[in-house]
Amino acid sequence: MSTHQSNALRKVSAVTGPPAPEGGLAPGTRIHHYELIRELGRGGMGTVFLARDTRLGRRVAIKFLHTQDADLTRRFILEARATARCSHENIVIIYEVGEYNGDPFMVLEYLQGQPLKKLVTGQRLPPARAVELMVPVVRALACAHEQGIVHRDLKPENILVTDSGAIKVLDFGIAKVLQGDEVPEAAATGTFVGQLADEDSRDLTRRGAILGTMAYMSPEQWGNGVPIDHRTDIWAVGIMLFRMLSGQHPLGSVSGPQLAVTGLLDEPMPRLRDVLPDAPPELAAVVDRCLLKHKEQRFPDALSLLRALEPFLPGRYTRELRIDESPYAGLSSFQEADANRFFGRTREIAALVNRIHDQPLLAVVGPSGTGKSSFVRAGLVPVLKRSGTPWESLVIRPGRHPLAALASMVAPLVSSSSSIEEDIQEQRKLVEHLRAEPGFVGNVLRSRARRERRNILLFIDQFEELYTLVPDARERLAFTACLSGIADDATSPIRVVLSIRSDFLDRVPEDERFMAELSQGLYFLTPPSREGLRDALVQPAEMAGYRFETPAMVDKMLEHLESTQGALPLLQFAATQLWESRDPAHKQLTERAYEAMGGIAGALASHADSVLAGMTNTERTLVRALFLRLVTPERTRALVSADELRELTKDTGEMQRLIDHLVQARLLVVQTGGGATGATVEIVHESLLHSWPTLRRWLDEGQEDAGFLEQLRNAARQWQAKNFDNNLLWRGEMVEEARRFQGRYRGELPKLQRDFLDAVFAQAVRATRMKRALVIGTTTFLAMLVVAAAVALVVIHNSQQEAERQAEAALRAEAVARKAETTAREAETLARNAETEAKQRLAEVQAKELERLREQQAKEKAMEQVELTNNALLNKNGELESALKRAKELQKRARLAWLRAQKSAEEAYQAQRQLEESLRREQERAARAEQQIGVIIKELD
């Protein structure tokens, strides 16, 4: 029960004195297992609170009556008990009746929505829409009347259209339990507890008067002595239908006490066609019969009235079909032109119509197969156009280029070009304009709406394509920014409705602003109920004048559909197959035909397989490639251009013939584009993805290829868009994956994708060649380094050997020096001996002197030999230094060998130094020996 509901439950103070105290009612108060949350509404006689049922965890509405009047309390309890006895989907549910601090209360279901008065005031409704709103009310009355309960205050304020689309009859507050046809005496003088939403006291009866609301009171309620029974409610239905169809009360502007003329039985009510000449005669007759002042001339009961109204529900009439025309849509989505054969969604349509008045941006969310597109196209749009308010509908699909799709819709509204080429140029400029100024589309549509004095509904069908077909996040954000600029305010004449699969809803927060606005308008479309499926199955056949052979056949189909994903398209397809096998003689859809096609489960698969069975192996291969291309990696339908599909094989004519054949077989659908776009192809319905085993097998087998093909398509398109820039070609691991794909893939690829792969492979070959050349060059360079190192090693080795030879020469020189030293020592010894024996052997001095001279000469020769050896060693040392310089030049290429050579050179140098030191010491000794010999000679002289 909502605030609107609480308004309908408010009571006008019609008793003497102020209302009784409220007994401490306030938010947080506990009454049994109920806790008050907040006050919803208040009237002179009572208060309605929103409360929570702490036991069952649900919200409820609790209506309290504040009065000391025992009769009023009795009637309150009577209302609760009477309503509780009427268990019906169109009557508000009463959960409990009780008493708190002396005040009676009843606990009702909590409903959110709007009163019927708000939806219909100030406009004329199309006949089908008016009947559509009133039939649930009549069904509720039929249930109440069977319990002997009359509402007696039926009016638009007491009828609530909930947010979910249900219609609920409220406030049986002045209903009475009938005892035959007699009116209890209290009824003539009972307390009035009804009210009008506007609290207009002129239309309210007072204490002691007849019960009811003046504008809707039947003649017998005006106190003409005629007993009141259930037919007084039929009168109220007639008044409401009259007002909805004509836009005014049958008595025109008459109001207040002047309405008492209604009670004059001799004054007939105006007929509907007198006020509305174009009203359908049969429907006008039904309304006029409801308003006959003699109640026995009206419909005898609500059930009879219901049977009279049902034929005027949307699509509920028999019409002649064209040759080969089916009342069912098959696997194709319903379009606006199919509104007269779209059934089973009345409640959901009413719910969305209620929300669209206050919400500029709405999303119809649901799983695949719930009929989201059909719901908007054939359900919502026709109802809006029948509402009496001018509406224009525009439909687009995002596709691969959502901004281009939006531009193609806007272009005719702003373009002044006269040729196709100019249109294409204008559209391209418009796309860039939309990217730069996302508010432009909204300005154009609002200007058109105000100029044409109509509302505009923009329907974005298959919104999930924005995420399955558009890889560029900037393109997606630009598109959602445009939609935000269109649906920017509830006072605008523009409404945007989009349909999206529920499993893609988590992608929408990519644009935070768009998601914030969209979250307020999410409408979750669930699979239809069993009754909705029954209506969708049975009523199109009845419209065409046919019926199902047996009720059991319908039940069998419904049982299968209730447990099947994508029930609606399967229903439509199976029904279409049944229709094609119908029995025109008996106007029946037969059970034998149903069994022959394999029931619901086998109808679609057997049809698709039968189409394949009539093809050659080559054709089946092409069909497989075709269907795989028409499914995204996420296993949703892909919208693909016919040109791209024709590129799947070199024989484009053969592919076009296959496409035409599959379209005729109702497995594919082709949409002709305009401007810069060409014809596009897609699978007729997503139910094929779930219900056709052959296609599921193809998808499972090609699961790995599906992701790669999508990458290939995106990469090829980007390559083409960037004028075939080689920087966008694949490299590295992607090249290897492409080679593996090429090795296992047996299908045909479009030319653009083949060219892309060819360019990738050609670039890879060039890269391989360059790599090979680089390897060869590097190898040659390294070989040269090795040769240079070898040469350096040889030079270093020769230098080492030369150093070793020089070291040996130094050693030999050192040995000579040592021998010379020994000789010198011997000479010294001889000299000493000669000095000792000089005095004794004077005679021998000359001989000894001669011997000494000879030894001196030998010494001089030895010294000369040492000097020559030293000079040779110095020359060799110069040559060694030159070799070391050459070795240093090769040091960078063979440092290790150079280090070894350097070590050897250093060792040779040390040997030389030692040799020089030895020679120096020998020279010093020779000098000292010479000095000593000189002294001896002087002494001898």
Distance from the Cα of residue 300 to its chain's centroid:
54
User: Distance between CA 17 and CA 892 in Å, rounded?
Assistant: 119
Residue 150 pairs with which residues in a beta bridge?
176
Q: Which residues contact 932 (CB under 8 A, 6 or more apart)?
A: 828, 831
The yes-or-no verdict on residue 34 having pLDDT over 90 is: yes
Same-domain status, 586 and 672? no
Picking from 191, 198, 217, 162, the residue whose alpha carbon sits closest to that of residue 10 is 198
Contact of 137 with 159, CB cutoff 8 Å: yes
Which member of 53, 69, 103, 153 is catalytic? 153
For residues 151-161, average pLDDT: 89
In a domain, 182, yes or no: yes
The yes-or-no verdict on residue 50 having pLDDT over 90 is: yes
Cα dihedral sign, 415-419-425-428: positive
Length of the chain: 941
Cα dihedral sign, 328-334-337-339: positive
User: Distance between CA 396 and CA 405 in Å, rounded?
Assistant: 7
- Strands across the sheet containing 113-115: 113-115, 159-162, 167-169
User: Distance between CA 11 and CA 66 in Å, rounded?
Assistant: 10
In a domain, 322, yes or no: no
Same-domain status, 270 and 241? yes
Q: Cα 914–916–921 angle (5° rounding)? A: 95
Q: How many domains does the chain have?
A: 5
Q: Which domain holds residue 472?
A: 336-415+423-526
Residue 240, pLDDT score: 94
Same-domain status, 786 and 919? yes
Residue 2, pLDDT score: 47
pLDDT confidence of 482, banded at 50, 70, 90? very high
Residue 603, pLDDT score: 78
CATH of the domain at 346: 3.40.50.300
Same-domain status, 812 and 916? yes
Half-sphere exposure of 140 (CA within 13 A, CB side): 26
Work out the mean pLDDT of the chain and round it to a whole number: 79
User: Distance between CA 103 and CA 302 in Å, rounded?
Assistant: 35
Interstrand relation of 34-42 and 30-31 (parallel, antiparallel or unpaired): antiparallel
CATH of the domain at 655: 1.10.10
User: Distance between CA 70 and CA 250 in Å, rounded?
Assistant: 38
Same-domain status, 804 and 680? no
Cα dihedral sign, 737-738-739-743: positive
Greater pLDDT, 705 or 499? 499
pLDDT confidence of 142, banded at 50, 70, 90? very high
Residue 301, pLDDT score: 93
Residue 745, pLDDT score: 67
Same-domain status, 388 and 305? no
For residues 559-585, average pLDDT: 82
Contact of 431 with 414, CB cutoff 8 Å: no
Tokens of 260: 């008492």
Tokens of 778: 């590097």
For residues 770-777, average pLDDT: 76
pLDDT confidence of 290, banded at 50, 70, 90? very high
Tokens 């069977």 found at:
146
pLDDT confidence of 543, banded at 50, 70, 90? confident
Question: How many secondary structure helices (H) and strands (E) does the chain include?
Answer: 33, 21
The yes-or-no verdict on residue 687 having pLDDT over 90 is: no
Q: What are phi and psi of 494, to 5 degrees?
A: -105, 135
Same-domain status, 470 and 353? yes
pLDDT confidence of 898, banded at 50, 70, 90? low
Q: What percent of the chain has pLDDT over 70?
A: 77
Most confident of 176-190, 284-298, 592-606, 668-682: 284-298
Residue 61 pairs with which residues in a beta bridge?
50, 108
Instruction: Produce one character per residue of 25-60: b if its CB has 16 or more CB atoms within 10 Å, e if not.
Output: beeebebeebebbebbbbbbbbbbbbbbbeeeeeeb
Interstrand relation of 588-589 and 547-548 (parallel, antiparallel or unpaired): parallel
The predicted model scores a pTM of 0.59
Contact of 570 with 691, CB cutoff 8 Å: yes
For residues 782-796, average pLDDT: 72
Same-domain status, 346 and 266? no
Residue 97 pairs with which residues in a beta bridge?
106
In a domain, 328, yes or no: no
In a domain, 763, yes or no: no
Picking from 510, 572, 133, the residue whose alpha carbon sits closest to that of residue 353 is 133
Q: Please write the tens of the pLDDT for every residue from 257-283.
A: 888 888 888 889 999 999 999 889 999
Same-domain status, 790 and 656? no
Residue 6, pLDDT score: 45
Q: What are phi and psi of 654, to 5 degrees?
A: -65, -40
The yes-or-no verdict on residue 903 having pLDDT over 50 is: yes
In a domain, 662, yes or no: yes
The yes-or-no verdict on residue 433 having pLDDT over 70 is: yes
User: Distance between CA 603 and CA 571 in Å, rounded?
Assistant: 10
Q: Please write the tens of the pLDDT for every residue from 158-206.
A: 898 887 778 899 877 555 544 333 333 333 322 222 332 333 333 444 3
Q: Which residues contact 867 (CB under 8 A, 6 or more apart)?
A: none
Last residue of a domain, one of 296, 312, 328: 312
pLDDT confidence of 562, banded at 50, 70, 90? confident
Q: Please write the tens of the pLDDT for every residue from 436-471.
A: 999 999 999 999 999 999 999 999 999 999 998 898
Q: What percent of the chain has pLDDT over 90?
A: 22
The yes-or-no verdict on residue 858 having pLDDT over 90 is: no
Q: Which residues are annotated as a binding site for ATP?
A: 63
Residue 91 pairs with which residues in a beta bridge?
169
The yes-or-no verdict on residue 426 having pLDDT over 80 is: no
In a domain, 829, yes or no: yes
**Around Cβ 730, how many Cβ atoms within 10 Å?**
21
The yes-or-no verdict on residue 291 having pLDDT over 90 is: yes
Same-domain status, 133 and 209? yes
Same-domain status, 59 and 201? yes
For residues 245-251, average pLDDT: 90
Residue 21, pLDDT score: 38
The yes-or-no verdict on residue 385 having pLDDT over 70 is: yes
User: Distance between CA 37 and CA 28 in Å, rounded?
Assistant: 6
Residue 310, pLDDT score: 85
For residues 613-635, average pLDDT: 85
Same-domain status, 721 and 865? no
Tokens 């009237």 found at:
43
In a domain, 758, yes or no: no
Q: Which residues contact 748 (CB under 8 A, 6 or more apart)?
A: 622, 625, 647, 648, 649, 650
Residue 192, pLDDT score: 27
In a domain, 474, yes or no: yes
Tokens 């959960």 found at:
95
Residue 209, pLDDT score: 43
Please name the amino acid found at residue 54: T
Tokens of 163: 């947010």
Rounded to the nearest 10°, the torsion over CA 414, 418, 423, 424 is: -160
Residue 608, pLDDT score: 85
Distance from the Cα of residue 589 to its chain's centroid:
40
**Around Cβ 330, how many Cβ atoms within 10 Å?**
19
CATH of the domain at 65: 1.10.510.10
Percent of residues in the chain assigned helix, strand, coil, to nearest 5? 60, 10, 30
The yes-or-no verdict on residue 934 having pLDDT over 50 is: yes
Contact of 29 with 36, CB cutoff 8 Å: yes
Distance from the Cα of residue 936 to its chain's centroid:
125
Which residue spans within 385-473 are E strands per DSSP? 391-396, 455-460
Q: Which residues contact 436 (CB under 8 A, 6 or more apart)?
A: none
Last residue of a domain, one of 526, 560, 575: 526
Last residue of a domain, one of 496, 526, 556: 526
Q: Which residues are annotated as a binding site?
A: 63
Active site residue 358: no
